[in-house]
Structure 1
Amino acid sequence: MSSLLSKKAACNAHGQDSSYFLGWEEYERNSYDRITNPEGIIQMGLAENQLCYHLLESWLANNPHALGFKSQGQYIFRKLALFQDYHGLPEFKKQAMVEFMSEISGNKVRFEPQSLVLIAGATSANEALIFCLADPNDAFLLPTPYYPGFDRDLKWRTEVVIVPIHCKSSNGFQITEEGLEQAYEDATNRNLRVKGVLITNPSNPCGTTMTVDELNLLLNFIELKKIHLISDEIYSGTVFNKPDFKSVIEVLNERNNNNNNSTNQIMIREQVHVVYSLSKDLGLPGFRVGAIYSNHKMVLDAATKMSSFGLVSSQTQFLLSVMLSDKYFTKTYIKENQKRLKRRHKMLVGGLKKAGISCLKSNAGLFCWVDMRHLLKSNTFNAEIELWKKIIYDVKLNISPGSSCHCNEPGWFRVCFANMSGRTLKLAIKRLKDFVADHDEFNYHTKYHQPTT
């Protein structure tokens, strides 16, 4: 009986009733396997990076002491098994993690360990920041399209309201001043107090890196409105083509060097917060390693307290401190990962092009933002969902419809490419190509062979 439960448990505001999560449910009921279920649904809705596991496994095989909990020849199991400081193991937080984050940014940013909070994954990091910056019924502005999971991750427990910043395909879904101001006005017209803007850079689902102009536009906007900016940069190491990734911290540093008004620069630095994790760049989502980077002391203090509800295990920190301290390995991994992502991206984009399907030009991420507007029966979201259902149930591919990402243009889909083998991706492309051919043939006969009356 729901009357015996809390309002939180009984409500349907968890955001998991969207087509994004429904697609996952269908996949789990009928998942593809080359041997046991070759007609099953291929999972293309999972942004997971499996392209360089051989490098990780090879490193582990060559460094058994990391898995055996040995440091300098001594077993440290007892040390790791006992309670640790919530701030994290010094060798991980103060050295390995911040150095890896800097390496991912091309060593253009020096991340300071005293400004870092470790927490169990980016999901926890984003939610903790929302708890720190906003109260129930406050608003955060998010550019569309955005990651569908944010409707759960940011809203369910915090009870904040997401207000979309509508972006358009005509300029590659870039953020504009007009879009920012309109979203802010929409929020205030609803009597919502806007507390910040949250972005993903590189973008999930677009797979694009933000321009310096966009980042400066955002920094000017939050300075003017006296609100916060959260930059989710968990895909920063997946950039495989120009332009290079630029962290918002790098842009902040450049502004600081070019601006004499030091008071304003100190204030705006405290309004900017970065989320990072090892789930996408290193392909370790199961390890649950996330981080909050902030220059706001009260935010750091509160986030550290909140991290006690989702700590990174000491064993995980130790293993990764050894791995990420191996600079030859990290350099090799980053380079090879980018090379393989580029190759896989090219495979998907090229295959879809042969099927008559185009993608938004992108240079990062584990997915493509795919344009299927020409396959819609009408320019409506109902038609988009109808097409999505055909792709799920008939084509047997789980992809994410744009409406689940709050895109305001029907017909766009997020399609992931790094969570499967090359053979499986080729099969998925063939299935989609066959579907488009059948679709075009049906439309031809419908148009030119109507029965006469």
Structure 2
Amino acid sequence: MKFLSKKATCNSHGQDSSYFLGWQEYEKNPYDEVQNPEGIIQMGLAENQLSFDLLESWLSENPDAAGFKKDGESIFRELALFQDYHGLPAFKNALVEFMAEIRGNKVSFSPDNLVLTAGATSANETLIFCLANPGEAILVPTPYYPGFDRDLKWRTGVEIVPIHCSSSNGFQITKPALEEAYEHARKRHLKVKGVLITNPSNPLGTTVTREELNLLINFIDAKGIHLISDEIYSGTVFDSPGFVSITEALVDRNMQNSDVWDRVHIVYSLSKDLGLPGFRVGAIYSNNKTVVAAATKMSSFGLISSQTQYLLSVMLADKEFTRNYISTNQKRLKERHDVLVLGLQDIGISCLSSNGGLFCWVDMRHLLKSSTFEAEMELWKKIVYEVKLNISPGSSCHCTEPGWFRVCFANMSEETLNLAMQRLKFFVDSTTTHRRSPGSPKKMFLTKWVFRLSSYEHEPER
């Protein structure tokens, strides 16, 4: 160990979080309807698999794009040879137009202010490298995406200071919470360089209100700091109130020529809106020329392949396809969201009212033995190991209130989601029955009911 770097031997990656541990347990025993019907159902992965048929249909109708042809002629050699890190102009143009389309064309974006990165993970880390030094701080509202402990901190050396939000107002950001977090950082002798938000929120599944956006604009203006708006779920908003980008909020206040304009930065990707996490397509959008120049240099460590850029430039330039995809995908997300919410309601479990994202913020506080994070972990372990569902506990998202869980709904079939609800219902009903009858054997249902479900819940395909 002494021959390795501190980075290689430190334990600050966050891999030991229950968020990642749940994934590891799933990978050991993944559910499969035929091969492993008693396995763990993955509900901890925010992946959108609801509209693959639209993508596959477009690919079949546009074989030249997938075959790296232009006007019937192969451009394979052109794409395979060296490309600089500024990216293909056609792709950058198509991407900024797609970003505007998702925002109802209320705002526009310039390709000159866009930096391409290998996914939003790379985009967020690159921005942190540009905005803050090791030992400085970024404020992040809780609950927040567990991967931020890795993305924002691990290699940059920057600290995350939480902005504590509560269920009393639907976990919305307040001015007292912002000021308290800022003062807490100062007491720790940490210089605050910015605030990072996700809009729509991961894990809440809610859009940031215009009031919150204006509050954040006023706050960073007063403190002279930056704001990063991670908007990778902007195209998944399926219900009112609609999505308001931080850019729209700034334009509405005529702040284009202000100092604040240069201190607001957007992170975007096609992983969620287009369901392409494996393509590793992310971007930074900033009006700050110095940030764009520095981030572009850093992007050489995580480029998007030219082949991927070419394929997606053709796809996103097809306006008829993008319009149909956005509207159809949002409709499907709404339908699937409602399946989960109604299924949980039938079990006696409620959710935070949400209108976007690929997950729900689920309230299981009434199932805890006590209002502690120890009780939350005990419940989580039962759900993972006994109910065989991988969901993410609120503590992994730094929620200050035990008993909340993030449950994903778009990475599986509706049949699998219904099976997950049935498993959970058996568990809740059995737990409730056991509490009413203290003398009943505690584990009699744990091994039998999980396996019984798979034997009769699935009819063979016709």
TM-score by length of 1: 0.96
Q: Which has the larger displacement, 69-78 or 224-233? A: 69-78
- Separation in structure 2 between the aligned mates of residue 435 and residue 107 of structure 1, nearest angstrom: 47
- Separation in structure 1 between the aligned mates of residue 370 and residue 27 of structure 2, nearest angstrom: 30
Which residue number in structure 2 is paired with residue 3 of structure 1?
2
Q: Does 1:86 align with 2:68?
A: no
Which residue number in structure 1 is paired with residue 259 of structure 2?
267
- Secondary structure of 2:259's counterpart equals helix
Q: Does 1:220 align with 2:212?
A: no
Cα offset for 1:73? 2.0
Which residue number in structure 2 is paired with residue 352 of structure 1?
344
In the alignment, is the contact (CA less than 8 A) between 2:139 and 2:181 conserved in 1? yes
Per-residue Cα deviation, 1:287-315 (whole angstroms, up to 9, x for no partner): 00001000111100100000000011000
- Separation in structure 2 between the aligned mates of residue 375 and residue 199 of structure 1, nearest angstrom: 30
In the alignment, is the contact (CA less than 8 A) between 2:250 and 2:256 conserved in 1? no
Cα offset for 1:266? 2.1
- Separation in structure 2 between the aligned mates of residue 265 and residue 295 of structure 1, nearest angstrom: 10
- Secondary structure of 1:198's counterpart equals strand
Which residue number in structure 2 is paired with residue 230 of structure 1?
228
- Separation in structure 2 between the aligned mates of residue 69 and residue 395 of structure 1, nearest angstrom: 46
- Separation in structure 1 between the aligned mates of residue 75 and residue 256 of structure 2, nearest angstrom: 47
Which residue number in structure 2 is paired with residue 387 of structure 1?
379
1:405 to 368, 390, 397: 397
- Secondary structure of 1:3's counterpart equals coil
- Separation in structure 1 between the aligned mates of residue 439 and residue 121 of structure 2, nearest angstrom: 48
- Secondary structure of 2:253's counterpart equals helix
Which residue number in structure 2 is paired with residue 109 of structure 1?
107
- Separation in structure 2 between the aligned mates of residue 405 and residue 355 of structure 1, nearest angstrom: 24
Residue type of the alignment partner of 1:356 = G
Which residue number in structure 1 is paired with residue 449 of structure 2?
none
1:191 to 182, 189, 192: 189
Q: Does 1:296 align with 2:296?
A: no
TM-score by length of 2: 0.94
- In structure 2, stretches of 5+ residues that fail to align are 442-462
Residue type of the alignment partner of 2:358 = L
Q: Does 1:367 align with 2:359?
A: yes
- Separation in structure 1 between the aligned mates of residue 387 and residue 28 of structure 2, nearest angstrom: 15
User: How many residue pairs align between the two structures?
Assistant: 441
Structure 1 runs (4+) greater than 6 angstroms displaced: none
Q: Does 1:248 align with 2:230?
A: no
Cα offset for 1:445? 1.5
In the alignment, is the contact (CA less than 8 A) between 2:40 and 2:384 conserved in 1? yes
Per-residue Cα deviation, 1:381-424 (whole angstroms, up to 9, x for no partner): 00000000000000000000000000000000000000000100
Cα offset for 1:85? 2.5
- Separation in structure 2 between the aligned mates of residue 345 and residue 437 of structure 1, nearest angstrom: 23
Residue type of the alignment partner of 2:8 = A
Per-residue Cα deviation, 1:157-183 (whole angstroms, up to 9, x for no partner): 001100000001010000000000000
In the alignment, is the contact (CA less than 8 A) between 2:236 and 2:329 conserved in 1? yes
Per-residue Cα deviation, 1:35-70 (whole angstroms, up to 9, x for no partner): 111111000000000000000001000100001111
In the alignment, is the contact (CA less than 8 A) between 2:199 and 2:233 conserved in 1? yes
Per-residue Cα deviation, 1:89-141 (whole angstroms, up to 9, x for no partner): 11111x21010000011111101111111111000000000000001110000
- Separation in structure 1 between the aligned mates of residue 218 and residue 412 of structure 2, nearest angstrom: 41
Which residue number in structure 1 is paired with residue 66 of structure 2?
67
Identity in percent: 72
- Separation in structure 2 between the aligned mates of residue 68 and residue 33 of structure 1, nearest angstrom: 32
Cα offset for 1:264? 9.1
- Separation in structure 1 between the aligned mates of residue 364 and residue 64 of structure 2, nearest angstrom: 50
1:320 to 312, 315, 319: 312
- In structure 1, stretches of 5+ residues that fail to align are 257-262
Q: 1:28 to 1:448 in 2, by over 3 A?
A: closer
Q: Does 1:166 align with 2:171?
A: no
User: 1:47-62 maps to which residues of 2 (within 5 A)?
Assistant: 47-62=46-61
In the alignment, is the contact (CA less than 8 A) between 2:434 and 2:440 conserved in 1? no
- Separation in structure 2 between the aligned mates of residue 254 and residue 446 of structure 1, nearest angstrom: 60
Cα offset for 1:72? 1.6
Per-residue Cα deviation, 1:335-358 (whole angstroms, up to 9, x for no partner): 110000000000000000000000
- Separation in structure 1 between the aligned mates of residue 236 and residue 322 of structure 2, nearest angstrom: 14
RMSD of equivalent CA atoms? 1.3
- Secondary structure of 2:2's counterpart equals helix
Residue type of the alignment partner of 2:423 = R
- Secondary structure of 1:298's counterpart equals helix
- Separation in structure 1 between the aligned mates of residue 184 and residue 431 of structure 2, nearest angstrom: 40
- Separation in structure 2 between the aligned mates of residue 163 and residue 444 of structure 1, nearest angstrom: 43
Per-residue Cα deviation, 1:207-261 (whole angstroms, up to 9, x for no partner): 00011000000000000000000000000000000011000000000111xxxxx
